[in-house]
Amino acid sequence: MLAAQILINALVLGCLYACIAIGFSLVWGVLNVINLIHGSFIVLGAYLAWSLYQGLHISPWYSLAVAAPLFFAFGYVIQRLILNRVITAPVLVTLTLTFGLDLILNNAMIYYFKADYRKLTLTPPMGSVSIFDVVVPVDRLIATVAALALTFVLYLILRRLRVGRAIVAVRLDRDAAVLMGVNVNSIYAIAFGLGAALAGCAGVLMALIFPISPLTSTAYLGKAFVVCVLGGLGSVSGALAGGILLALIEGVGSAMIGPAHATTLSFVLLIVFLILRPQGLLGRKGFE
Amino acid sequence: MTRANLILLVLITCIAALPLFGGAYTLRLGTIACMYAIMALSWNVVGGFAGYPSFATAAFFGLGAYIGGVLLARGLPLTAAIPIAGIGSFLVAALLGAALLRLRGHYFAIASLSLIEVFRELVNNATDLTGGGMGLNIPLTASAGVMADATFFFYLMWGVLLVTAVMVIAVSMSKLGFGLSCIMQNETAANMVGLNTTLYKSIAFGLSACFVGAAGGVYAAWVHYIDPSDVFDILYSVKPIVMALIGGLGSPLGVTIGAFVYLGLEEVVWRNYIQIHSGVLGVLIVLLLLFLPHGLTSLRGWRLWGRAKNV
């Protein structure tokens, strides 16, 4: 039964990991920017859910609807005003710039929310379900379903909507997209906004499960790195596969060699993957 | 030797006179200035000469600090611990470099960033050897008072800086430096004309880690207590890059001046805005990248006394 429990845990956690990573992956794939603010966006989303719940008793499920447009606007403006000025610069510049932005946002959060760990505790608690001997907390289960739904929404946007097709086109070949009349700057801003919105929503879901503190942002960012590299850049299915794979490896690794080494294992795996299969599990070669 | 490199050596020699002028606080600042200059100069070998966006400085700083710290705690003398920290970092970096430097651009950046995480977690979990999250206490050396200690560690760090500067200048004048600039401009072409790019890059990566590792060892001995989140701080990776961007990428003199300018800014921010210092640092980074992407050396008037180049 232990194996089944580990498997279920990994599936649940994997969907959440995918949700963390998908926005990061989108921005990296489309804008070619390693977006280090992503972790702080997630934490900010968690704080949004926490504040709304504490202050106005708005359930986190409704907070999702608040977070998405708010973070989209936030991301859109940051990309338009700041990031867009260096978008063609080498990775050194864009990465350092997003690091600077991350310092600002993170410091602002420490300043306003303090560095204390907080927890959004639903009253009454939602309990857990057990099928045979496999136990899953209900809030975690719902968060997983929501994460899957968000991922699916992004998939639909990229597949069905005109703007989504334009995003994919820019990702595949920027110059050709320009020639076809796509306004690249606007697509960049929309993609960055979408990435931020997904991070914010992921943060709302994380608030239900993990403690909230500005200091956790690097852990989320680290997960996003690993998932992205495992699954392959920019694709929704890749992020899902990478997330579940990472959660599985962490779960099995924790059970076998102890939870202390789970993070080490995931980063070693990241480096190995980068060297042996930089296009990721589902990525195609030369498709970057 | 170019004029800029000569100025660099003169500048570093002048810094040695610092103990004549200042008290313990000045010496502390001077020691940090030397440490930052070591980091910036070292980063410049792989980031400036070879053009690889390395974020691994913190990883090797921490590695050196822990090699040095563990050896010191086991009773080895300083004269043995610090060279071992440097050489150990060189070997680890050169070996890792042979694998990691096959990656380019974003992938290399991510891999070098995750190196910090891997090292930090390893140190965190090797509790028997390193004390894990509790940190590592390094015994005090026989102390002859605050000032004597401050002066001693200042000269120790300064010595490492001097060796680093000589190394960087030697690299920039040698075939290695030429090869690295070929790699920066067009790696595939460099490979085509028979340059062993993997070897060159590995040596560059190793050299960039070597002196940072030694500086880490000195740091550990200096502050007497290190813990993983302190020495494996990602800021140690980003600061050298910011310094290099302030001073102008690729020029040893530029990045050294960048390191000093950066330290000055950092100190002013620390003293006045302790609660928001990292935010102010962030604003600084953003403004620098947006408005002065080629560093101070790109400002007009800087080269007033230099020879006119064929414009």
The answer, for A264 touching chain B at a CB cutoff of 8 Å, is yes
Confidence at residue B166, expressed as pLDDT on a 0 to 100 scale: 92
Select the residue from A81, A99, A113, A264 to test the B interface by mutation, using most B Cβ atoms within 10 A. A99
Q: Which residues of B touch A82 (CB under 8 A)?
A: 286, 290
In a domain, A287, yes or no: no
Query: Is position A284 within any domain?
Result: no
Sorted by where each starts, the structural domains of chain B and their CATH numbers stand as 3-298 (1.10.3470)
In chain B, what residues touch A24 (CB-CB under 8 Å)? none
Structure tokens at B133: 């999250």
Which residues of chain A are within 8 Å of residue B284 when distances are taken between CB atoms? 100
Closest CA to A41 of A218, A230, A232: A218
Find the residue in B nearest to A90 (Cα).
B105
Provide the domain limits for residue A193. 2-115+133-276
The answer to whether residues B109 and B53 touch, using CB atoms and an 8 Å cutoff, is yes
Which chain B residues are within 8 Å of A28, Cβ to Cβ?
106
Residue B238 confidence (pLDDT):
86
By the 8 A CB rule, do B44 and B168 touch? yes
From B143's Cα to the closest Cα of chain A, the distance in A is: 37
Q: For position B298, what pLDDT does the model report?
A: 61
Q: Are A26 and A151 in contact (CB under 8 A)?
A: no
What pLDDT is attached to residue A143? 85
- Asked if the C-beta of B116 comes within 8 angstroms of chain A's C-beta atoms, the answer is no
pLDDT in tens, A113-127: 888 888 887 777 777
User: Assign residue B16 a region: left if phi > 0, alpha if psi is -120 to 50, beta otherwise?
Assistant: alpha
pLDDT mean for each 10 residues of chain B (311 residues)? 83 85 86 93 89 90 92 86 92 89 81 87 84 81 76 90 92 89 87 88 92 93 88 87 83 88 86 83 85 66 46 38
Mean per-residue pLDDT of chain A = 84
Domain of A28, CATH number, reads 1.10.3470
What part of B 242-261 touches A (C-beta under 8 Å)? Answer: 242, 245
Q: What is the mean pLDDT of residues A27-47?
A: 89
**C-alpha span between B53 and B98 (Å, rounded):** 16
- How much is the average pLDDT of A107-117? 86
Is A18 part of a structural domain of the chain?
Answer: yes
Give the per-residue pLDDT at A287: 39
The radius of gyration of chain B from alpha carbons, rounded to an integer in Å, stands at: 19
Which residue's entry shows tokens 């140190």? B123
pLDDT digit string (tens) for A131-153? 777 777 888 888 888 888 888 88
Q: Residue A124, preceding bond cis, omega within 30 degrees?
A: yes
Q: How many angstroms away from the CA of A157 is the closest CA of chain B?
A: 26
The pLDDT-based confidence of A234 (bands split at 50, 70, 90) is low
The region, left, alpha or beta by phi > 0 then psi within -120 to 50, assigned to residue B135 is left
Which pLDDT belongs to residue B141?
67
| Total number of domains in chain A | 1
**Mean pLDDT calculated for residue range A28-36:** 85
Q: B225-226 and A134-137: which strand pairing?
A: unpaired
Q: B222 is written with which tokens?
A: 């200096």
Give how far B282 is from chain A: nearest CA, Å.
4
Give the list of residues 6+ apart from residue B310 with CB closer than 8 angstroms, or none.
none
Q: What is the mean pLDDT of residues A204-227?
A: 86
Identify whether A242 is part of a domain. Answer: yes
Q: From A112, A63, A71, A77, select the one nearest A200 (Cα to Cα).
A: A71
* Phi, psi (degrees; rounded to nearest 5) at B137: -90, 135
- Does A120 fall in a domain? no
Nearest to A161 by CA among A185, A187, A196: A187
Q: Which residue has the higher pLDDT, A278 or A255?
A: A255
Q: Which residues of A touch B115 (CB under 8 A)?
A: 271
Is residue A240 over pLDDT 50? yes
Residue type, A158: L
- Chain A within 8 Å of B292 (Cβ-Cβ)? no
Q: Is the Cβ of A137 closer than 8 Å to some Cβ of chain B?
A: no
pLDDT tens digits, one per residue of B107-155: 888 888 888 888 988 888 888 888 877 888 887 766 677 788 888 889 9
B289 and chain A: CB distance < 8 Å anywhere? yes
Smallest Cβ distance to A274: which of B103, B122, B238? B103
Tens of pLDDT, residues A153-168: 888 888 888 888 888 8
- B311 touching A (Cβ < 8 Å): no
Query: Has residue A183 been placed in a domain?
Result: yes
Over residues A249-272, the mean pLDDT reads: 79
A 218-247 → B contacts, CB under 8 A: 218, 222, 225-226, 229
Q: Is residue A126 part of a domain?
A: no
Choose among B109, B114, B122: nearest Cβ to A270: B114
